[in-house]
Chains A and B, each alone.
Chain A
């Protein structure tokens, strides 16, 4: 989790106390869990008690039909303990609470969470809990029940991933991802399975009873990269988007392959042989499983989008539709033994752009938060349960088998990645470097899915099931602990090629920032790599037909911008209110993440260099500080991807700066009013972001004209008689016209207005005290005015909301 309670508070003693208290609370809960679980793990007695209790109840009610009991009057029970009445929900809640408290606890210990990834810690906690239960003498409950896992714990994580899947990088790299997912997994499965069988046949290992097909089955179970583990570990190492999407996409899409292989080998393990016919059927099955899963997901996604079109009157249940439709998609796919994961991903990805256009801002936030919350809890629970299940056993440890498994998995992964990259690089414009390959190979973590699949195996059909499970668990532990813990330092090691400069001259700072902007601009001109015509066509189709059906009212014309504009208005209003108490400078250091450089470069603290005669050191420092804190953040094209940070809107990047600029201006003119050197123009122009951007682009200086006056105090001079003023009013009209036509927009405004107590209204008054420059017409502005807003065919860069 990126939210860290950085307890660098000066009141160190108090924080210790807090920490201590929290740990104490956690321990108590731990105890409670152990006790209740211990009590609960004897279900037979519980059932008996239950029925006995039930009888009693009915007895007291006065029924005389039951024989064999006498009505004994006892004192009216003022207080009684009936645990079994609430047993199951209570336990579930207790586990969830435990998981959440653990998560809290880890972040209270800052050093720990930076060294050890959370997943490791959670597994350790699970081990502890399992150990405690065992020590208490009770039987450890089989918590990682496959049903529970596949039906309850896995869907939230996958839905979260699918809903917030960054579509553009995913689609751009889809070929690579598919290659890794399908071919890579197949290679892994057969390599591991086959070689394991070969090893088993070696005399002296006492494993000769393990046949080929079970080995292959085992290979297919263990070869699948696990999305949960990958997500958990990768989010902490802040890798760049490309690699993240490669590994993550692979982990999602290999589900289809795993499902098919698993069922294929499971089916025929009994028969003992696989004919070529079966192989052909297997291939067909794979196609059906994957495409069918996607189709099911897409259908539900469209249904959800369509439903959300009509929810403008019942905003409260909007998020529910998102969740329920997605879950139904998953279940329906599982019903047909199609790939549930792919269905879920497809559903989330398909419905998102339309649903987001339809639902209110608050529902959108709700969906975001709920998804993140559920997936977070799920992930925590899964890891804890993995720990508990490990303790539960039963285990059949076989040195040869286990060690060979671990080694083979590593080897096959490396060979697979290197080999595939070699082939893939021939088709890619952006080649994958050795560093990338290493990360992809090293990041192939196994997780709970493998365990659950192993758990599902029939005991009778597979006598070596326990051995398999032990090997699977060992492999999971190895990947999560060893690879998970070492990947971050290795990434750092690999990425640090250049020495960090101790200090940079002012020239360097300015020029490098300039070059960053230049490069960003050129990249934009070149367009994103992988620009295809069919993608364009798909977008056009989307805009023309689909959006009309699935998006309510007039919003389909400029849905994301209007919604986004509203959001920014709210933010702005809040900022305006807050800016009364002083404005914080944006303190972000420009963090440049390029595709070659995985590590975000941290600028070191400024160091004063040689003092030139005219400038004192203090002045120098001030200049440096200004530059550092104010040089505009270059839009981070490939910023580090982090699942737990709520995904920012695409327009927000530059828009934030823009808003801050406006803020600055407002502060500036506050100073002006004191000097009464200043004329207010009735506000500009809550126009659409594109217009603002276009205006900015045409002449950045035109919007805010600052003439340095002789005494060095910047003033803003406004010419009321400027030809722009009527234009500015025009634009206001234009927008309000545009706004008024949108029925849905009006409704939403109304609804939001009610909810937000007229904040919108206030804003129109306060408005933006931006000024047009006096004097000659601004050609950019004229261009703006003639521009009817973002043209629909212009969205080459962002087809759907990424």
Chain B
């Protein structure tokens, strides 16, 4: 793997990045290759259009949101570090991690993953999934197959089920609670990023 080292040296602060995200050098190189492949104009930064060029992503009902998640609010571009940091959420969780309360929560822990998913729902970043936001998501997932009326009742039902403090919105804690039985690590990990 002679190219690994040469590619690694091209990336600034790669040690820090690996420390922060937990990726191995092989993964970083792979992601860097992918980053460069997406970055058609070779500017070192990705724009929404670059993501939009991925065909299959265009077919994804929540493709837009996913792309949006890469860009910090107000920013038009994403650099390699941010790219990797976002993708680090999808690393499979390290099984044997001592529960050290003093250390910051690693990026790929269950909580962090859930937080990332929550932020995709919560577009206005107020910490709650409002009914309208939920409706939006449902609409994009169910598209044309369901009438608006049905969508609304589904949304109502969903909030009712999850909403414990009766504020007609789903907070992060409620979100987390409703998914306690689901194996998030399995659902939100990309195997080849292990």
Beyond contacts A690-B55, A700-B140: 9 other A-B pairs, Cβ-Cβ < 8 A, are: A501-B181, A510-B141, A514-B141, A517-B141, A521-B57, A694-B52, A700-B61, A714-B147, A797-B54
1/0 per position for B113-126, CB-CB distance to A under 8 A?
00001001100000
Do residues A506 and B158 form an inter-chain contact, with CB atoms below 8 A? yes
- A508:B179 contact, CB within 8 angstroms: yes
Q: Say if the beta carbon of A522 comes within 8 Å of chain B.
A: yes
By Cβ-Cβ distance, the 4 closest A-B pairs, closest first, are A697-B58, A654-B59, A507-B178, A664-B144
User: Once the chains bind, are B141 and A635 in contact (CB under 8 Å)?
Assistant: no
The chain A residue with its CB closest to the CB of B62 is A517
A residues within 8 A CB of B139?
700-701
Q: A637's closest neighbor in chain B, by CB?
A: B56
Residue contact A508 to B53, C-beta cutoff 8 Å: no
> How far is it, in angstroms, between the C-alpha of A719 and the C-alpha of B26 when the chains are bound?
54
Q: Is A596 an interface residue (CB 8 A)?
A: yes
Q: Which of A243-251, A301-309, A475-483, A618-626 has 4 or more CB atoms under 8 Å from chain B?
A: A618-626
Number of interface residues of B (CB under 8 A): 68
Query: A708 in the interface, Cβ–Cβ < 8 Å?
Result: yes
* B123 → A minimal CB distance (Å): 13
Q: Is A430 an interface residue (CB 8 A)?
A: yes
Which residues on B sit within 8 Å (CB–CB) of A630?
A: 142, 145-146
Nearest CB in chain B to that of A793: its residue: B40
In residues 53-84 of chain B, which contact A (Cβ within 8 Å)?
A: 53-64, 66
> Quick check: is B191 within 8 A (CB to CB) of the other chain?
yes
Whether B100 sits at the interface, judged by CB under 8 Å, is no
| Shortest CB distance A428–B (Å) | 9
Can you give 15 A-B contacts (C-beta < 8 A)?
A430-B191, A431-B194, A506-B158, A510-B154, A511-B175, A514-B62, A514-B137, A519-B187, A521-B63, A523-B190, A526-B87, A615-B160, A654-B59, A697-B59, A797-B54
Chain B residues with CB under 8 Å of A612's CB are 157, 160-161
Query: Known: A693-B58, A694-B58. Is A623-B194 also a contact (CB below 8 A)?
Result: no
A526 to B140, Cβ gap below 8 A?
no
CB pair B187–A506 under 8 Å, yes or no, is no
> Would you call B145 and A596 a contact (CB within 8 A)?
no
- Alpha-carbon separation in the docked complex, A654 to B156 (Å): 29
For the complex, give the distance between the alpha carbons of A523 and B120 in Å: 16
Tell me if A104 is interfacial: C-beta within 8 Å of chain B.
no
Interface membership of A729, Cβ < 8 A: no
A510-B190 contact given A531-B34, A661-B143, CB 8 Å threshold:
no
Q: Give A72-116 interface residues, CB cut-off 8 Å to B.
A: none
**Cβ-based interface call for B45 (8 A):** no
- For residue A210, CB closer than 8 A to chain B, the reply is no
Cβ–Cβ contact B145 & A660, under 8 A: yes
Query: Contacts A501-B181, A526-B31 given: A699-B191 contact, CB under 8 Å?
Result: no
Q: Which of A525, A531, A661, A712 contacts B66 (CB 8 A)?
A: A525
**In the complex, per-residue mask of A659-683: 1 if CB is within 8 Å of any chain B CB, else 0:** 0111011001000000000000000
Q: How far is the CA of A632 from the CA of B145 in the complex (A)?
A: 9
B37-57, CB under 8 A of A: which get 1 and which 0?
A: 110100000000101111111
| Residues on A with beta carbons closer than 8 Å to the beta carbon of B62 | 514, 517-518, 521
Residue of B nearest to A527 (CB): B34
B165 contacts the other chain (CB 8 A): no
Q: Is the CB of B190 within 8 A of A511?
A: no
Does B17 count as interface, using CB distance less than 8 angstroms?
Answer: no
Contact check, B154 vs A626: say whether CB atoms are below 8 A apart.
yes
Complex CA gap A612/B162 in Å reads: 12
Question: What DSSP secondary structure best describes chain A's contact surface?
Answer: helix
Complex contact A518–B194 (CB within 8 A): no
| Min CB gap B137→A, angstroms | 7
Q: Is the CB of A515 within 8 A of B117?
A: yes
Asked whether any CB of chain A lies closer than 8 Å to the CB of B183, the reply is yes
Residue among A506, A661, A796 making CB contact with B157, cutoff 8 Å = A506
**CB of B150 within 8 Å of the partner chain:** yes
Total contacting residues, chain A, CB less than 8 A: 80
Q: Interface digits, A442-456 against B, CB 8 Å rule (1 contact, 0 not)?
A: 000000000000000
| Interface check A603, CB cutoff 8 A | no
Question: Which chain B residue has the least Cβ–Cβ distance from A653?
Answer: B59
Q: Chain B residues with Cβ under 8 A from A526's Cβ?
A: 31, 34, 87, 190, 192-193
Q: B-side interface residues toward A, CB under 8 Å?
A: 26-27, 30-31, 33-34, 37-38, 40, 49, 51-64, 66, 87, 90, 117, 120-121, 137-150, 152-154, 156-158, 160-162, 175, 178-179, 181-184, 186-188, 190-194
The reply to whether B37 and A712 contact each other, CB–CB distance below 8 Å, is: no
Contact present for B56 and A522 (CB under 8 Å)? no
Interface membership of A595, Cβ < 8 A: yes
Q: Is the CB of B181 within 8 A of A620?
A: no
Q: Which residues of B contact A508 (CB under 8 A)?
A: 178-179, 181-182
- Least CB distance, A79 to chain B, in whole angstroms: 66
Check A524/B57 contact, CB under 8 A, given A536-B37, A620-B157: yes
A693 & B59 in contact (Cβ 8 Å cutoff): yes
Quick one: given A510-B138, A596-B191, A661-B144, are A524 and B54 in contact (CB under 8 Å)?
A: yes
Given contacts A531-B30, A631-B142, A700-B140, contact A505 B59 (CB under 8 A): no
Q: Are A632 and B143 interface neighbours, CB within 8 A?
A: yes
Q: Is the CB of A783 within 8 A of B52?
A: yes
**A631 contacts across to B, CB distance below 8 A:** 141-142
Nearest CB of B to A170, in Å:
17
Q: Identify which of B27, B38, B179, B192 contacts A507 (C-beta below 8 A).
A: B179
User: Using Cβ atoms and an 8 Å threshold, which residues of chain A touch B26?
Assistant: 429
Q: Which of A505, A531, A664 is B161 in contact with, Cβ under 8 Å?
A: A505
Q: How far is the CB of A246 from chain B (nearest CB, A)?
A: 15
Query: Measured between alpha carbons, how far is A615 from B63 in the docked complex, in Å?
Result: 33
A630 to nearest B CB, angstroms?
4
CB distance from A604 to the nearest CB of B (A): 14
CA distance A523 to B38 in the complex (A): 14
- A762 CB within 8 Å of chain B: no
Compute how far the CA of A459 lies from the CA of B190 in the bound complex, rounded to whole angstroms.
56
**A327 interfacial contact with B, CB 8 Å:** no
- Cβ-based interface call for A529 (8 A): yes
Residues of chain A within 8 A of B121, CB atoms compared:
514
- How far, in whole Å, are A632 and B154 apart by their CA atoms in the complex? 15
Does A627 belong to the interface (CB within 8 Å)? yes
Report if A437 contacts B (CB, 8 A).
no
Complex Cα distance A501/B182, Å?
10
Contact across chains for A521 and B60 when beta carbons are under 8 A apart: yes
- Residues in chain B near residue A124, CB distance under 8 A: none
Check B186 against A594 for contact (C-beta < 8 Å). Answer: yes
Q: State how many angstroms separate the Cβ of A312 from the closest Cβ of chain B.
A: 29
Judge whether B178 and A511 touch: CB under 8 Å.
yes
| CB-defined contacts of B142 to chain A, threshold 8 Å | 626, 630-632
**Partner of B152 from A536, A661, A708 at Cβ < 8 Å:** A708
Question: By the criterion CB–CB under 8 Å, are B144 and A522 in contact?
Answer: no
Within 8 A of B (CB), among A692-723: 693-694, 696-701, 704, 706, 708, 712, 714
Q: Which residues of A contact B191 (CB under 8 A)?
A: 430, 594-596
* B34 nearest CB neighbor, chain A only: A527
Q: How far is the CA of A339 from the CA of B186 in the complex (A)?
A: 43
Question: Least Cβ distance of B111 to chain A in Å?
Answer: 15
Taking CB as reference atom, which chain B residue is nearest A501? B181
Q: Which of A597-617 contact B (CB under 8 A)?
A: 597, 612, 614-615
B146 and A626 contacting across the interface, CB-CB below 8 Å: yes
- A623: B residues at CB distance < 8 A: 150, 153-154, 157
Q: Is the CB of B182 within 8 A of A512?
A: yes
Q: Is A513's beta carbon under 8 Å from chain B?
A: yes
Most interface-central of B61, B148, B190 (chain A CB within 10 A): B61
Given contacts A508-B182, A630-B146, contact A522 B87 (CB under 8 A): yes
Closest chain-B Cβ to A668's Cβ sits at a distance in Å of: 7
